[in-house]
Amino acid sequence: MILELHVRNHPGALSHITGLFARRAFNLDAIFCVPERERDQSVIFLQVVDEPRLPQVEKQLARLYDVLSIRQRPDLGCEFFANLAAAASPVSTA
């Protein structure tokens, strides 16, 4: 499952969000983050495991002060991050 978050953009925001996964023992498989608006916000896409604890993950993320909104993006398939990675590394090292 991919989650879409809109967050305040400042140097600590990402460590609040990624740190939460480690300390609550959730899995985070992939992350993509870009500034938006006047660079005062960022949009973050997180690929997480669709497990029974997912609602708890979302609630924990939602209560972070820097997280302004959160929603599931079931329309973005698991190839979303693979495509991004492929686009960023067009040259094969093989």
Interface residues with another protein (CB under 8 A) are: 11-12, 15-16, 19, 23, 55-56, 59-60, 62-66
Nearer to another protein, 10 or 37 (CB): 10
| Closer CB to another protein, 16 or 73, in the complex | 16
Burial 3-42 (b: 16+ CB within 10 A, else e): bebbbebeeebbebbeebbeeeebebeeeebeeeeeeebb
CB of 21 to another protein, least distance (A): 11
